[in-house]
């Protein structure tokens, strides 16, 4: 045995004894109440803290001061690799950065929808507030939100355009509807008259908003252009290509294909390539939520850049301000998207 297995971690008392002061003085040094401690004492205490490797026990402190220094990020998703989604990942990164900067910690918890009610966050009280990214069908998502609201803690939900008046609640999302309009305007300016939109069967509100924006754009243009929306069984490569194949078997080539997101648009584009259909000459293609990796594909997809990272940052700021002031400044934040023209339109 190279080490005693259970050396007790130094406490504030140990430091006090070693520095020959009272525990209170150590506490004052730790919390920088320098008015109450002479510089000489401070130095002595700090030396002992260093020497003993003392670290404050967050549990005891938080218990005493009755506050939490962590924010929970709950991700409800059917996929076991919940966090692996690039969008979610960006959001979490932005959130964690802002919180860490304010000496808050981010506690990540992923789970399936049916696990929420039995999860630790429901049984324990250990964070100051929650942020949530929830996937699934409308009913499931709303049920999850209701459960979280009932926790009676500050709650921020991403990409969910709902209002819960009176609740300690805030929603943060990107302007998907505006993004849809930008796509519509861009294509209309190129005289596209026949639009095909491809959406995944699981309809996220964000995707509904994108289609809504597209419709608005067409309507504002006089309504001459037509829009068909088809559903792919999933976002997978094969399902998207199958949906495109089925559509094209029964219909003429559309002027433009609008994918609900980049993977869908890319799958559609590759299908066209494989069938000798030229992009953008014969069909224009647009995606949504441009991700880093897609910048590297050729031809470069026209898409709408998502402010996913900024969404997370905004959530962090909103949560910190909520904790400070007692209430959310605004019930909803909508961040602008950025249209990113590529070579496919």
Q: Which residues here bind DNA, judged by CB under 7 A?
A: 8-9, 11-13, 16, 20-25, 27-28, 30-31, 35-38, 40-41, 56-57, 60-61, 63-66
Tokens representing 85 are 């989604």
- Tell me how far apart the alpha carbons of residues 259 and 290 are, in angstroms, rounded to a whole number: 12
Q: Cα 147–149–155 angle (5° rounding)?
A: 125
Angle at which helix 176-188 crosses helix 205-220, to 10 degrees, equals 40
Which position has the token pair 């302007």?
175
- Tell me how far apart the alpha carbons of residues 130 and 151 are, in angstroms, rounded to a whole number: 10
User: Does a cis peptide bond (omega within 30 degrees of 0) precede residue 280?
Assistant: yes
Residues within window 256-285 making contact with a copy of itself, judged by CB under 8 A: 262-263, 266-267, 270, 273
333 binds a copy of itself (CB under 8 A): no
Contact 265, 196 (CB under 8 A): no
Considering only residues 52, 143, 149, 151, which one is a binding residue for a copy of itself as defined by CB under 8 A?
151
Considering only residues 20, 78, 114, 126, which one is a binding residue for a copy of itself as defined by CB under 8 A?
126
Q: Which does 105 bind (CB under 5 to 8 A by kind): a copy of itself, DNA, none?
A: a copy of itself
Considering only residues 41, 70, 202, 241, which one is a binding residue for a copy of itself as defined by CB under 8 A?
70
Q: Which does 23 bind (CB under 5 to 8 A by kind): a copy of itself, DNA, none?
A: DNA
Which letter does DSSP use for residue 329 in this model?
A: S
Nearer to a copy of itself, 127 or 225 (CB): 127
Shortest distance (Å) from residue 53 CB to a copy of itself: 6
Shortest distance (Å) from residue 223 CB to a copy of itself: 34
- Tell me how far apart the alpha carbons of residues 95 and 127 are, in angstroms, rounded to a whole number: 15
34: which residues sit within 8 A by CB, 6+ positions away? 28, 42
145 binds a copy of itself (CB under 8 A): no
Tokens representing 156 are 């921020």
Nearer to a copy of itself, 106 or 188 (CB): 106
Tokens representing 341 are 């023209």
Q: Which does 92 bind (CB under 5 to 8 A by kind): DNA, a copy of itself, none?
A: a copy of itself
Shortest distance (Å) from residue 18 CB to DNA: 12
59 binds a copy of itself (CB under 8 A): yes
Nearer to DNA, 22 or 79 (CB): 22
Shortest distance (Å) from residue 161 CB to DNA: 36
Helix (H, G, I), strand (E, B) or coil at 248: helix
Tokens representing 150 are 């009932």
Nearer to DNA, 69 or 112 (CB): 69
343 binds a copy of itself (CB under 8 A): no
Q: Quick one: which segment of 40-48, 222-230, 244-252, 296-304 binds a copy of itself (CB under 8 A)? A: 296-304
Q: Which does 251 bind (CB under 5 to 8 A by kind): DNA, a copy of itself, none?
A: none
- For residue 187, the surrounding DSSP H or E stretch is helix 176-188
316 binds a copy of itself (CB under 8 A): no
Q: Which does 68 bind (CB under 5 to 8 A by kind): a copy of itself, DNA, none?
A: a copy of itself
- For residue 185, the surrounding DSSP H or E stretch is helix 176-188
- Tell me how far apart the alpha carbons of residues 158 and 170 are, in angstroms, rounded to a whole number: 9
What's phi and psi for 334, nearest 5 deg? -120, 115
């Amino acid at each position: 045995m190279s080490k005693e297995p259970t050396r007790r971690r130094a406490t504030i008392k140990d430091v006090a004894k070693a520095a020959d002061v009272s525990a209170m003085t150590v506490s004052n040094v730790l919390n920088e109440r320098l008015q109450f401690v002479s510089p000489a004492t401070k130095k002595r205490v700090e030396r002992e803290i260093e020497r003993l490797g003392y670290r404050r026990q967050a549990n005891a402190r938080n218990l005493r001061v009755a506050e939490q220094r962590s924010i929970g990020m709950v991700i409800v998703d059917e996929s076991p690799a919940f966090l692996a989604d690039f969008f979610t990942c960006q959001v979490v990164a932005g959130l964690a950065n802002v919180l860490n900067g304010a000496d808050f910690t981010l506690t990540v918890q992923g789970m399936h929808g049916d696990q929420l009610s039995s999860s630790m966050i429901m049984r324990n009280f250990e964070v100051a507030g929650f942020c949530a990214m929830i996937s699934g069908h409308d009913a499931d998502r709303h049920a999850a939100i209701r459960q979280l609201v009932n926790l009676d803690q500050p709650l921020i939900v991403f990409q969910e355009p709902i209002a819960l008046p009176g609740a300690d609640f805030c929603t943060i999302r990107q302007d998907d509807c505006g993004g849809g309009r930008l796509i519509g305007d861009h294509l209309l300016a190129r005289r596209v008259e026949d639009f095909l939109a491809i959406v995944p069967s699981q309809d996220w509100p964000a995707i509904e908003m994108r289609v809504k924006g597209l419709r608005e754009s067409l309507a504002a243009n006089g309504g001459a252009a037509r829009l068909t929306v088809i559903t792919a069984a999933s976002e997978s490569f094969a399902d998207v290509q199958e949906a495109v194949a089925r559509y094209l078997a029964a219909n003429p080539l559309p002027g433009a294909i609008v994918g609900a997101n980049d993977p869908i648009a890319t799958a559609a584009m590759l299908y066209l390539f494989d069938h000798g259909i030229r992009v953008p000459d014969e069909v224009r293609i647009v995606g949504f939520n441009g991700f880093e990796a897609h910048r590297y594909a050729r031809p470069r997809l026209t898409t709408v850049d998502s402010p996913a990272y900024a969404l997370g940052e905004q959530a962090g700021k909103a949560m910190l301000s909520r904790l400070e002031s007692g209430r959310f400044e605004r019930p909803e934040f909508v961040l602008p998207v950025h249209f990113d023209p590529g070579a496919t339109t």
